[in-house]
Amino acid sequence: MNDYQYDHQTVKGFIVSSIFWGVVGILIGLWISVQMWKPEFNVPPFFTFGRLRVVHTNSLAFGLGIGAIFGISYYIAMRLTKRPLVFPKLARFHLYLFNAAIALAALSLFAGMNQTLEYAELEWPLDIGVVILWVIFAVNIFGTIIKRKDEQMYISLWYIIATVIAVAVLYIVNNLAVPASLTKSYSLFAGVNSANVQWWYGHNAVGFVFTTPILAMFYYFLPKSTGLPIYSHRLSIIAFWSLVFAYLWTGAHHLVYTPLPDWIQTLAIVFTLFLIAPSWGSVINGYYTVGTDWNKMQTHYLTKFFILGITFYGLQTVQGPTQAIRVVSQLIHYTDWVPGHVHMGTMGWVTMTTAASIYYIIPKIYGTEIYSIKAANVHFWLVLIGQLMFSITMWITGIQQGALWKATNADGSLKYTFMEGLVKNYPFWQLRTVAGVIFTVGMLFFIYNISMTIRKGKALAASRA
Amino acid sequence: MAGELYRRPIMFAVVATVVILIGTIVTMFFPMFTEGMHPRLENLKPYTALQLAGKDIYMREGCNNCHTQTVRPLRTEVMRYGEYSKAGEFAFDRPFLWGSKRTGPDLARIGGKYPDAWHYKHFENPQAFFAQSNMPKYGWLQSGKLDPAAMEAHMKVNGFPYTQEEMADLPSKTELDALVAYMQVIGTGVKKAVPVTVAAMAEEKNPLAGDPNAHERGEKVYEKECEACHGDDGRGGIGPRLTDDIWLNKEGDISDGRIYEIIANGTANGMPPYAGQLDKDKIWSLVSYIRHEQHKTK
Amino acid sequence: MTEDFDSTNIEDFEAKDTARKLPIGWLILFWGLILWGIYYFVMYSPSISGWTQEKAYHESVKK
Ligand code: HEM
Ligand code: HEM
């Protein structure tokens, strides 16, 4: 077996694992979405909403998201440096450790071992495991880049490097804690200060897990799959630096109107609004790239995945900054508007772009074609409909909730009790479950398509041998 | 642009690190060393072992996925939940438990809002109070035991003072006891402000006295808001009987205006205030209803 | 066997397009947001404008 083939097995391993954890997370997503309108679906002690929701977010952000990021980044790094990974065995170990860590993470969260820091729920022994995972990744990525045959580093590599650095700093700082036992610790930070540290982390987890590595994929696979060069290299440069600079200032937009000092909130809001510019730099770059030949949207099935993906990214990066403004935050903070925003990013941008990258990689690895373009198109439309329905219903609920909470009678007293407001969410929450089912069916088409492609590839390899 | 940078990965990584650290230092690291980030209210007390055990359970069960613990300084929010949150209230929370989603109501001022009995009944079956609540049932916590050795370790890590008697007492308590004890202490570091009463009570007599339908309207509100505590037709339960002549443990009738006041402002012993949630007409209709029931039983 | 089986070279793409000017609309956005940021920071920083969320609250309940 040659080096590339060995490494590609590792890449494939990450992709298959990430899909597996994705399925787990999505099914739990459906489950909690039902719990929200039918509390009978809570099964204590392990399967109540409070515990399942974190299993949902962790298995998707860390299992699906980071699994795909590890695998696809390895692939991109090899292609762009024109050499195999420096430490192929380490990469294979990385894959096994990754799966062990996610499995333990899920079990520990079911068991309620939870630091209650959003997106950093795992208790300290697992945190150490996560840090080891990133160190292995960093060693392999940097090693491969340093030993590269090619001189210039392409944009995708910049984003991958920035991801590794930022995640290292963020993850370690936010998880600093004093253990009280193997399964319980207390954060090093307290009160207002811990809130500030957590959301500095939390927002940049979005920034450096759901944004920069996905942009790395976008910048690599869009030109590769369409054969069209990126519109402007200069725009990518400015967008890159201003994005990684501004992101770190914005965490406090999750804490608007809390007791956090006003100046930190204000500074965060300022940089949050500014983020529209670098984000849209990438969006515009994507549009203009395909803009030289819009026919590609019809003639090449992957183009529409990338273009819709970046469109959702564009919508996210207008929506997100808007949410940070004080008057808007007053209305939508704490409401279902936020899950609407979240899932447009995760289901629309992250999952769409990742899936398209996988459609590109898997046939490439086996030297074959995708099993069925038709199935990929069905996947596309179902996921698109499911995601739009999810976000739109949640936006409506969110605005309604916010408005009901604020509504007053002529004499100034509140118009609605909490329960009167809650009851109005139920029809929308039910629709959200339907949206989730549509999305899930779409993902099943994707999984079927990929597994058939792998089977086809294997048969081909066997016949060649 | 400096093209050289994109050929030299180590230099690139160093520059990227610096760029990433600037915002980090200004908004996260530097503030850590300012006083504004470590305030503590004077009368804020560390958690007792039982309360901390309850807080641990709150974290374990992920209650923060549905409940926030911070009231924003916004008019309607203060009316709904009580005094807005102060930075100094959270000094003993490691980490903070503000949450980010209000599927259920905010809990920053839950301490003292209800009697213990209410919480036990509510955790056991939230739907018994609000048929359409989506809060999971937590009665099963009653079979959970507290482990004094573990709690001692937890208290030590937090640096909270405790006594051996306190620890010795823990095995006789359940996880549910702990959770309720925690509920009752949340937000009590701040003095309970009188709820933002809408227009002070103007009338001493019920303005709806002549309205023959008022008590029926009142009954509707009563069934939704009060029955869970005061029982069918005001016959009593967690809250006292409303149809007798004993008011706040004192014998003898009181005026309509005084009843109005009790409903509007609540009491320190577990009657929640309703001024922020019910308008004047609704509260007076409740008074009419209570009077109507009183007459029926006499 | 270390051949690269991708036929197109991404680096060639880069070389071709570096000359392009930045879109004017985007430049306006970029600088506009910076200007707005300065304005907002001045308006809502307690140490500059005196605005605080607590004061704003107390004003909103006075009426
Ligand atoms: C069938 C598809 C899905 C369904 C039905 C679903 C459902 C849900 C539900 C019900 C919540 C809780 C919302 C709340 O508390 O109000 C949630 C939260 C969340 N989900 Fe999903 N989800 C799905 C797919 C995904 C995917 C693919 C991702 C990520 C890649 C994701 C990431 C998240 C995150 C990060 C949150 C936390 C949001 C927050 O804290 O505001 N979900 N999801
Ligand atoms: C420039 C880009 C973005 C900005 C400025 C932004 C801004 C925001 C803001 C202000 C909130 C808090 C809303 C509230 O609670 O009131 C939020 C929540 C969130 N956003 Fe974004 N957003 C951006 C892009 C994205 C993208 C691309 C994703 C991808 C998945 C994403 C995922 C999330 C998640 C998961 C949360 C929920 C956090 C939580 O409460 O648990 N955001 N965002």
Determine the pLDDT at residue B201: 57
At C12, the pLDDT band (50, 70, 90 cuts) reads: low
- Enumerate residues 6+ apart whose C-beta is below 8 A from C15: none
Measured from the Cα of A32, ligand 1's closest atom is 10
The two tokens of residue A67 are: 């699994």
Cα–Cα distance measured from residue A33 to residue A37, given in angstroms and rounded to the nearest whole number: 7
At A112, the pLDDT band (50, 70, 90 cuts) reads: very high
CATH fold of B49-183:
Cytochrome Bc1 Complex; Chain D, domain 2 (1.10.760)
At A14, the pLDDT band (50, 70, 90 cuts) reads: very high
The two tokens of residue A407 are: 């509504």
Rounded distance from Cα A462 to ligand 1 centre (Å): 41
3 state DSSP class of A110:
helix
At B210, the pLDDT band (50, 70, 90 cuts) reads: confident
pTM: 0.93
Min Cα–Cα distance to chain C from A114, Å: 32
Determine the pLDDT at residue A232: 87
Residue B75 forms contact with C (CB below 8 Å): yes
The two tokens of residue C7 are: 């036929």
- Enumerate residues 6+ apart whose C-beta is below 8 A from B4: B11
Taking CB atoms and an 8 Å cutoff, what residues of chain B touch C60?
A: 74-75
Tally the domains of chain A: 2
Determine the pLDDT at residue C4: 41
Rounded distance from Cα A57 to ligand 1 centre (Å): 6
**CATH number of A357's domain:** 1.20.210.10
Give residue A457's identity as a one-letter amino acid code. Answer: G
How many Å is the maximal CA-CA distance in chain C? 80
Whether A57 contacts A111, CB under 8 Å: no
Closest-lying ligand to the alpha carbon of A33? 1
Residue B206 scores a pLDDT above 90:
no
Among A38, A45, A49, whose Cβ lies nearest the Cβ of B140?
Answer: A45
CATH code 1.10.760.10 region(s) in chain B? 49-183, 214-297
| Domain endpoint, select from A188, A208, A227 | A188
Residue A431 scores a pLDDT above 60:
yes
Cα–Cα distance measured from residue A228 to residue A217, given in angstroms and rounded to the nearest whole number: 15
The two tokens of residue B253 are: 């009738």
Cα–Cα distance measured from residue A24 to residue A313, given in angstroms and rounded to the nearest whole number: 25
Same domain assignment for residues A261 and A180: no
Q: Is A314's C-beta closer than 6 angstroms to any atom of ligand 2? A: no
Q: Do A230 and C17 touch (CB under 8 A)?
A: yes
At C13, the pLDDT band (50, 70, 90 cuts) reads: low
DSSP class of residue A260 equals: S
Give residue A210's identity as a one-letter amino acid code. Answer: F
Interval A284-317: pLDDT, tens: 999 999 988 898 888 899 999 999 999 999 999 9
What are the CA-CA distances from residue A456 to residues A360, A363, A453, B186 (Å)?
15, 9, 5, 60
3 state DSSP class of B226:
coil
Q: What torsion do the CA atoms of A139, A140, A142, A145 make, to the nearest 10 degrees?
A: 160
Cα–Cα distance measured from residue A52 to residue B235, given in angstroms and rounded to the nearest whole number: 40
Determine the pLDDT at residue C9: 59
Determine the pLDDT at residue A3: 77
Whether A380 contacts A305, CB under 8 Å: yes
| Domain endpoint, select from A139, A154, A188 | A188
Regarding an ipTM greater than 0.90, the answer is yes
The two tokens of residue B124 are: 């056991």
Determine the pLDDT at residue B1: 45
Cα–Cα distance measured from residue B260 to residue A264, given in angstroms and rounded to the nearest whole number: 44
Helices A301-324 and A212-226: crossing angle in degrees, nearest 10, is 150
Rounded distance from Cα A206 to ligand 2 centre (Å): 7
Question: What is the average per-residue pLDDT within B99-119?
Answer: 94
Comparing A256 with C14, which gets the higher pLDDT? A256
Whether B226 contacts B286, CB under 8 Å: yes
Measured from the Cα of A329, ligand 2's closest atom is 16
- Enumerate residues 6+ apart whose C-beta is below 8 A from A427: none
Rounded distance from Cα A347 to ligand 1 centre (Å): 9
Cα–Cα distance measured from residue B114 to residue B133, given in angstroms and rounded to the nearest whole number: 18
- Enumerate residues 6+ apart whose C-beta is below 8 A from B137: A39, A42, A44, B123, B124, B125, B126, B127
Cα–Cα distance measured from residue A98 to residue A250, given in angstroms and rounded to the nearest whole number: 30
| Domain endpoint, select from A168, A188, A208 | A188
Measured from the Cα of A256, ligand 2's closest atom is 16
Sign of CA dihedral B190, B196, B201, B207: negative
Determine the pLDDT at residue A150: 63
Phi/psi of residue B82, nearest 5 degrees: 115, -175
3 state DSSP class of B174:
strand
Among B62, B86, B225, whose Cβ lies nearest the Cβ of A54?
Answer: B62
At A36, the pLDDT band (50, 70, 90 cuts) reads: very high
CATH tag, B214-297: 1.10.760.10
Whether A167 contacts A134, CB under 8 Å: yes
Taking Cα atoms as reference points, which of B121, B113, B118, B117 lies closest to residue B138? B121
The two tokens of residue A4 are: 């590339």
Interval A350-369: pLDDT, tens: 999 999 999 999 999 998 99
Residue B203 scores a pLDDT above 80:
no
Note every long-range contact of B146-152, with CB atoms under 8 Å and residues 24 or more positions apart, other chains counting: B146/B50, B146/B53, B146/B170, B146/B171, B146/B173, B146/B174, B146/B175, B146/B178, B148/B49, B150/A180, B150/A181, B150/A184, B151/B49, B151/B52, B151/B53, B152/B49
3 state DSSP class of B242:
coil
Same domain assignment for residues A9 and A144: yes
Residue A450 scores a pLDDT above 90:
yes
Question: What is the average per-residue pLDDT within A196-201?
Answer: 97
Whether A219 contacts A283, CB under 8 Å: no
| pLDDT over 90, % of chain B | 68
Same domain assignment for residues A299 and A429: yes
Peptide bond before residue A179 is cis, with ω within 30 degrees of 0: no
Residue C17 scores a pLDDT above 60:
no
Same domain assignment for residues A146 and A263: no
Closest-lying ligand to the alpha carbon of A278? 2
Question: What is the average per-residue pLDDT within A379-386?
Answer: 97
Cα–Cα distance measured from residue B73 to residue B77, given in angstroms and rounded to the nearest whole number: 7
Which residue, chain included where needed, has tokens 């009978």?
A: A40
Residue A154 forms contact with C (CB below 8 Å): yes
CA-based end-to-end distance of chain C: 80
- Cα A42 from chain centre: 27
Determine the pLDDT at residue A40: 96
Bridge-based pairing of strands B250-251 and B246-247 is antiparallel
Give residue B132's identity as a one-letter amino acid code. Answer: Q
Which residue, chain included where needed, has tokens 């048929």?
A: B131
Residue B253 scores a pLDDT above 90:
no
Determine the pLDDT at residue C8: 52
Same domain assignment for residues A138 and A263: no
Residue A465 scores a pLDDT above 90:
no
Determine the pLDDT at residue A374: 96
Q: Is A323's C-beta closer than 6 angstroms to any atom of ligand 1? A: no
Taking Cα atoms as reference points, which of A432, A405, A343, A393 lies closest to residue A37? A432
Comparing A2 with B197, which gets the higher pLDDT? A2
Among A3, A154, A267, whose Cβ lies nearest the Cβ of C14?
Answer: A154
Taking Cα atoms as reference points, which of A313, A243, A234 lies closest to residue A271? A243
Determine the pLDDT at residue C16: 56
At B212, the pLDDT band (50, 70, 90 cuts) reads: confident
Cα–Cα distance measured from residue A217 to residue A69, given in angstroms and rounded to the nearest whole number: 9
DSSP class of residue A179 equals: E
Q: Is A204's C-beta closer than 6 angstroms to any atom of ligand 2? A: no
Cα–Cα distance measured from residue B2 to residue B292, given in angstroms and rounded to the nearest whole number: 85
Whether B100 contacts A338, CB under 8 Å: yes
- Helix (H) or strand (E) holding A269, with range, is helix A262-274
Determine the pLDDT at residue A137: 97
At A166, the pLDDT band (50, 70, 90 cuts) reads: very high
Determine the pLDDT at residue A228: 86
Average pLDDT, chain A: 95
The two tokens of residue B279 are: 């308008």
Q: Is A275's C-beta closer than 6 angstroms to any atom of ligand 2? A: yes
- Cα B128 from chain centre: 19
| C15-33 as b/e: b if 16+ CB within 10 A | eebeeeeebeebeebbeeb
Question: What is the average per-residue pLDDT within B272-297?
Answer: 88
Q: Do A116 and B26 touch (CB under 8 A)?
A: no
| pLDDT over 90, % of chain A | 88
- Enumerate residues 6+ apart whose C-beta is below 8 A from A448: A375
- Helix (H) or strand (E) holding B247, with range, is strand B246-247
The two tokens of residue A352 are: 């769409």
Give residue A313's identity as a one-letter amino acid code. Answer: Y
At A230, the pLDDT band (50, 70, 90 cuts) reads: confident
Q: Is A305's C-beta closer than 6 angstroms to any atom of ligand 2? A: no
Min Cα–Cα distance to chain B from C56, Å: 8
Determine the pLDDT at residue A2: 73
Determine the pLDDT at residue B83: 92
Peptide bond before residue B272 is cis, with ω within 30 degrees of 0: no
Compare all CA atoms of chain B with the CA of C54 and give the residue at the minimum distance. Answer: B73
Q: Is A209's C-beta closer than 6 angstroms to any atom of ligand 1? A: no
- Residue A95 neighbours by CB distance under 10 Å: 22
Q: Which domain holds residue A347?
A: 257-454
Interval A60-88: pLDDT, tens: 999 999 999 999 999 999 999 889 999 99
Cα–Cα distance measured from residue A125 to residue A123, given in angstroms and rounded to the nearest whole number: 6
Comparing A3 with A178, which gets the higher pLDDT? A178
The two tokens of residue A301 are: 């099935």
What are the CA-CA distances from residue A260 to residues A252, A322, B89, B92, C44 (Å)?
8, 20, 12, 16, 14
Residue C14 scores a pLDDT above 60:
no
| pLDDT over 70, % of chain B | 95
Q: Is A282's C-beta closer than 6 angstroms to any atom of ligand 2? A: no
Cα–Cα distance measured from residue A130 to residue B213, given in angstroms and rounded to the nearest whole number: 66
Determine the pLDDT at residue A308: 96
Sign of CA dihedral B204, B209, B210, B214: positive
Question: What is the average per-residue pLDDT within A387-404?
Answer: 97
Min Cα–Cα distance to chain C from A209, Å: 24
